[in-house]
Amino acid sequence: MLELDHVAVLGETLAEAVSHAESALGQPLSPGGAHPDFGTHNFLIGLEDELYLEAIAVDFSAPAPGRARWFGLDSFAGPARLDKWICRVPDIAAALERFPMAGEAVAVTRGSLSWKISVPRDGMLPFDGLFPALIEWESPVPPGVSLAGAGLRLEQLTVAHPRADELQALLGPVLASPQVGFAVEAKPALRATFATASGRRVLQ
């Protein structure tokens, strides 16, 4: 089964990604760390229901990685936006047998955290980047559990794409996250609706 693990705001710089997320959510993000294997760095905020959000961008102070950066960050351009969703799986090898288009399993560590995540060789996920990355946590307490909820609950994540019906047909039989919906629209995009103490907020 696939379960929503977290969503990611991408930016040309980390400051832009963080600012976009904080403006939409009305809450501050906290420093995450660096990913030397991919030359990126991030900030994080916990959500209810053991979910979280990350803002991520290329770390220009880090050496260039020996492979394509994850999430298509090598070619990301334009304003910061909600651009990726990541689903956890109990066995990434088995998941990639079913969804080989998601890439290959790459082992990653950051501080005390360790996990395996699917990354295509060119860094670009299918469906214009809107196929979910697959993650298998090897740490007993992943960020979705360790981060405080901050009073933010993800009500709806909409995956909009011209071929959203095809994507839904692929993922629907194994996707166990009812807050994820699919919409056939001309422009590929993600939209997330959050319930907060100050009302409903939308991030896209």
**All domains of the chain in start order, with CATH:** 3-150 (3.10.180.10)
- Which residues, other chains included, contact 175 with Cβ-Cβ below 8 Å and sequence gap of 6+? 1, 2, 3, 87
Q: Decide if pLDDT at 55 tops 90.
A: yes
Q: What does the buried/exposed string (b/e) look like for 158-187 if buried means 16 or more CB atoms within 10 Å of the residue's CB?
A: bbbbebbeebbebbeeebebeebebeeeee
What is the pLDDT averaged over residues 2-29? 97
Q: For residues 44 and 50, is the Cβ–Cβ distance under 8 A?
A: no
Name the percent of the chain lying above pLDDT 70: 100
Q: Decide if pLDDT at 133 tops 80.
A: yes
pLDDT at residue 148, rounded to an integer: 77
Q: What is the pTM of this model?
A: 0.96
Q: Decide if pLDDT at 87 tops 80.
A: yes
| Average pLDDT of the chain, as a whole number | 96
Do the bridges between strand 40-47 and strand 51-58 make them parallel or antiparallel, or are there none, so unpaired?
Answer: antiparallel
- Which residues, other chains included, contact 138 with Cβ-Cβ below 8 Å and sequence gap of 6+? 114, 115, 116
Span 113-128, pLDDT tens digits: 999 999 999 999 999 9
Q: Decide if pLDDT at 149 tops 80.
A: no
Q: Decide if pLDDT at 112 tops 90.
A: no
